Chain A
Amino acid sequence: MPRTWWLRDLFFLALFIAVLIGAWWAIEYAATIWPVMRYYNRILVIMGINITLAVSLNIINGHAGQFSLGHAGFMAVGAYSAAFLTVYYFGPYVEKMPEGSTQQVVWQNVLLVVAVLAGALTSAIAGYIVGLPSLRLRGDYLAIVTLGFGEIIRVMILNIDKIGAARGLTGIPPWNNFFWVFFFCGLTILISHRLVQSSVGRAFLAIREDQIAAESMGVDTTRYKVKAFIIGSCLAGAAGALFAHYSPAYLNPTMFTFIRSFEVVAMVVLGGLGSISGSIVAAIILTFLPEGLRAVKDYMPGGRDPRMVIYSIMLIVLMLTRPQGLFGRKELWEFLPRRKDKIPKEKRDEGGDQLDRDAGPPVT
């Protein structure tokens, strides 16, 4: 790498932020002309949160090959811890400042980021706690145990009065907006992408392929599985915190049931376990689909919502016909035409995945 590698990264970061701010302002402006943009803005923000969730779950389920069904629990932990901070400490602090002043705006954003990071941290701790017992468990058992943890977290929240219990937590200052959601979304994608290419990611992939072989090769499966849980839950917690601070800024334990976990699982599975771009595309599809289905239900008998029925049928058909999902383990850019002369003949094969791309002679 050139000695000033960080300049390149900084440039891209600045570019990314600039693009985001541009998009954000464009949407805000458009919303003043076409009120319907407010609705689309909301859908886009929800999409951003879903992408973050899907990509974070993909790290656990896709890259590390562990089957976690309790992701909503991590989201809840992040959401509630961040909201707790803002409702009881940050909010009142900011309230005292002159309304609308630069000082207030700056502090709002700074404290929002702090809250999101705090949520992510708490979730990471939760991920550690959940990850520990998962060490010894295999696929199906792990699934049920993570489901159980998700439910336990939800029941615990239901019984803590300080954060609203069954009433839900209100009074969360809605400091979140398009910019922050997509900033963290981009950050998540970046982390996930860099992670899978790092040695930690290689360890994940090894564990996914064959845990026992990896163990015999000297990979400390224990440590890496827990790491996967920690990172995945950390990012999910960030997503949860962002969700909590976006209008209507209201949290209720019913928002974090197994159904929510299942929706995220559906996104990751649809996109392809192990594919980051797959998770992104699937998250986009599965965010717009329910909104699109709103129109359909008027034609259903009794006006009933067929969304969950369609989800389940889709999953079953998917598993029976194309279990690897949309992209399998590959990424979107691997489908685009590449300059053929750069790739030696032996490696120009269909089934190549990330492990082979940069390596030396193919392993027989």
Chain B
Amino acid sequence: MKRNVLVAITCALALAFLGCPPKNAETPNATTTGGDGEILVGEYGSLTGNQATFGTSTHNAIMLAVDEINGAGGVNGRKIKVQTEDDQSKAEEAANAVTKLIAQNNVVAVLGEVASSSSIAAAPICQNNKIPMITPSSTNPAVTKKGDYIFRMCFLDDYQGASMARYLRQTLGIKNVAILIDNKSDYSTGLAKYFGDAFTAMGGTIVGTQSFTSGDSDFRAQLTAIRTTKPELIYIPAYYNDVGQIAIQARDLGMNMPLAGGDGWESPKLIEIGGKALEGCFYSNHYFFGDTNPIVRNFVEKYKQRYSATPDALAALAYDAARVLADAMKRAGGKTDGPTLREAIAATKGFAGVTGTINLGPDRNPEGKTLVIVEVKGGELTLKAKVEPEGAPAATGTATTTTTGTTGTQ
């Protein structure tokens, strides 16, 4: 009896340890600078868990970009290989995943994540190991503040909130807005704050603020409370999952004012869930898939061909992130060590991306990105407007729906 237990324990331990030796263990002192070997790039994302669709979009786009680049000859003759780790939509798993990528797989750079909390968890590890990290879609300002090895492809939430506020006040002339926040999401609370501050500063009034927890099914209580404040529009900076339901329930309560939101609305499932209730509602986004810009069209077609789905903004940003990385590697002339690669990425200017022209500023965030307002009309997503950064000249390289000019090719 005692012996069996000991045997059982030993077996269990053995089984657990069996999993440990890495599948692709590098030999000690393996380097990835020079030589004809592949360039190993790490990706961490939410492939499972409740943000699985975000991770999948991002992953698909990265693979599309990498295969394209490799097909065109790779970076200075070397092919890029992507090692993907799942972080299960959890921030602490993100830290583990990135540690594994850096320490065990010896990647030269890391792509990821969508959720800001995961990016914030992983950034210090990349920074301490001098491995550049590019987050395609994390919008929380804190991410790039973690260190000079952390870069970002998308606009920030303070920019997003302020731009939407400006659009509502100045273009649509709306004065009274209510806000409905997802208090479990840092993205939502952050964006709500930036929007609210900007809107009030521009002379608008926030007539009411309510919050819910993502995953809730019933929002009627909050909506009923908002109904009494009679807003012209409700700003809901949350994720598409909840927004669809909120819209339906709002209409069920007889509330017919338009709803607006941020890039968290972006998903092929948005209309599926919200249906007619979302008619006339709109949100700010990084790109619009129907843009006639050839770069966008090209990307959308290729993505559709490969994955039988229309790429969302996350995919677009990830595509840009992967290509910016490859471009930086090319500019670094084949050297892939941390400091050199970092310099090259930081110097990215005028890169023609799907989400606009990418100029990385001194804080490693893209400057002057155009905000796209996407509207639900007739059951489809349509382009409502483009909001340029305040005081900027007409954006170069990003086409509007009328012109077809482009800068550079890719």
Are A and B a genuine interacting pair, yes or no?
Answer: yes
User: Is B18 an interface position by the 8 A CB rule?
Assistant: yes
Give Cα distance in the complex from A327 to B96, angstroms.
30
Q: Are A305 and B48 in contact (CB under 8 A)?
A: yes
Give Cα distance in the complex from A10 to B156, angstroms.
56
User: Is B95 an interface position by the 8 A CB rule?
Assistant: yes
* B2 / chain A contacts, CB cutoff of 8 Å: 335
> Quick one: CB contact mask for A141-175 with B, threshold 8 Å, 1 for yes?
00000000000000000110000011110100010
Give Cα distance in the complex from A249 to B48, angstroms.
24
Q: Are B91 and A36 in contact (CB under 8 A)?
A: no
Q: Are A289 and B19 in contact (CB under 8 A)?
A: yes
User: Is B218 an interface position by the 8 A CB rule?
Assistant: no
Would you call the interface of chain B mostly helix, strand, loop, or mixed? helix
Q: Are B99 and A293 in contact (CB under 8 A)?
A: no
* A35 / chain B contacts, CB cutoff of 8 Å: 28, 102-104, 106
**Count, chain A residues at interface, CB 8 A:** 44
Which residues of A, 237-265, contact B by the 8 Å Cβ criterion? Answer: 247-250, 252-255
* A296 / chain B contacts, CB cutoff of 8 Å: 19
Q: Are B28 and A33 in contact (CB under 8 A)?
A: yes
User: Is A38 an interface position by the 8 A CB rule?
Assistant: yes
Q: Are B95 and A248 in contact (CB under 8 A)?
A: yes
Q: Are B125 and A292 in contact (CB under 8 A)?
A: no
Using known A-B contacts A35-B106, A255-B92, A292-B18, determine if residue A327 contacts B5 with beta carbons closer than 8 Å. yes
CB-based nearest B residue for A159: B183
User: Is A295 an interface position by the 8 A CB rule?
Assistant: yes
* B102 / chain A contacts, CB cutoff of 8 Å: 35, 38
Q: Are B117 and A249 in contact (CB under 8 A)?
A: no
CB-based nearest A residue for B146: A170
* B225 / chain A contacts, CB cutoff of 8 Å: none
Give Cα distance in the complex from A252 to B17, angstroms.
29
Give Cα distance in the complex from A38 to B102, angstroms.
9
User: Is A3 an interface position by the 8 A CB rule?
Assistant: no
> Quick one: CB contact mask for B212-238 with A, threshold 8 Å, 1 for yes?
000000000000000000000000000
Q: Are A37 and B13 in contact (CB under 8 A)?
A: no
Q: Are B16 and A252 in contact (CB under 8 A)?
A: no
Q: How many A-B residue pairs have CB under 8 A?
A: 135
User: Is A223 an interface position by the 8 A CB rule?
Assistant: no
* A304 / chain B contacts, CB cutoff of 8 Å: 47-48
Q: Are B186 and A303 in contact (CB under 8 A)?
A: no
> Quick one: CB contact mask for B47-63 with A, threshold 8 Å, 1 for yes?
11100000000000000
Q: Are B95 and A36 in contact (CB under 8 A)?
A: no
**Count, chain B residues at interface, CB 8 A:** 57
Q: Give B217 Cβ to nearest chain A Cβ, in Å.
A: 18
Using known A-B contacts A158-B183, A170-B120, A303-B86, determine if residue A39 contacts B106 with beta carbons closer than 8 Å. no
Using known A-B contacts A167-B190, A305-B48, determine if residue A39 contacts B103 with beta carbons closer than 8 Å. yes
- Interface centre among A46, A167, A295, A303, by most chain B C-beta atoms within 10 angstroms, is A167
Q: Are B124 and A250 in contact (CB under 8 A)?
A: yes
Using known A-B contacts A247-B125, A304-B48, determine if residue A255 contacts B91 with beta carbons closer than 8 Å. yes
Stretch from A57-65, A90-98, A208-216, A280-288 that touches the partner = A280-288
Would you call the interface of chain A mostly helix, strand, loop, or mixed? helix
Give Cα distance in the complex from A91 to B280, angstroms.
50
Q: Give A80 Cβ to nearest chain B Cβ, in Å.
A: 15
Give Cα distance in the complex from A295 to B84, angstroms.
11
Using known A-B contacts A166-B183, A167-B189, A285-B12, determine if residue A34 contacts B19 with beta carbons closer than 8 Å. no
Q: Give A78 Cβ to nearest chain B Cβ, in Å.
A: 16
CB-based nearest A residue for B26: A36
Give Cα distance in the complex from A350 to B88, angstroms.
44
Q: Give B184 Cβ to nearest chain A Cβ, in Å.
A: 6
* A294 / chain B contacts, CB cutoff of 8 Å: 19, 85-86, 100
Q: Are B124 and A248 in contact (CB under 8 A)?
A: yes
Selected contact of B184 from candidates A158, A174, A249, CB within 8 Å? A158
User: Is A326 an interface position by the 8 A CB rule?
Assistant: yes
Selected contact of A288 from candidates B19, B26, B104, B188, CB within 8 Å? B19
28 contacts between A and B (CB under 8 A): A34-B28, A35-B102, A37-B103, A39-B99, A39-B100, A39-B103, A39-B104, A159-B183, A165-B186, A166-B184, A166-B188, A167-B117, A167-B140, A168-B120, A174-B124, A247-B125, A247-B128, A248-B120, A248-B124, A250-B91, A250-B120, A285-B13, A288-B16, A291-B96, A294-B19, A294-B85, A294-B100, A335-B6
Pairs of residues from A and B, 10 with the lowest C-beta to C-beta distance, nearest first: A292-B19, A39-B103, A167-B186, A38-B103, A288-B16, A166-B186, A248-B124, A248-B95, A305-B48, A335-B2
List 11 additional A-B contacts (Cβ < 8 Å) besides A37-B103, A284-B13, A291-B20. A34-B28, A36-B26, A38-B129, A158-B184, A166-B185, A254-B90, A285-B13, A289-B19, A292-B15, A292-B16, A350-B1
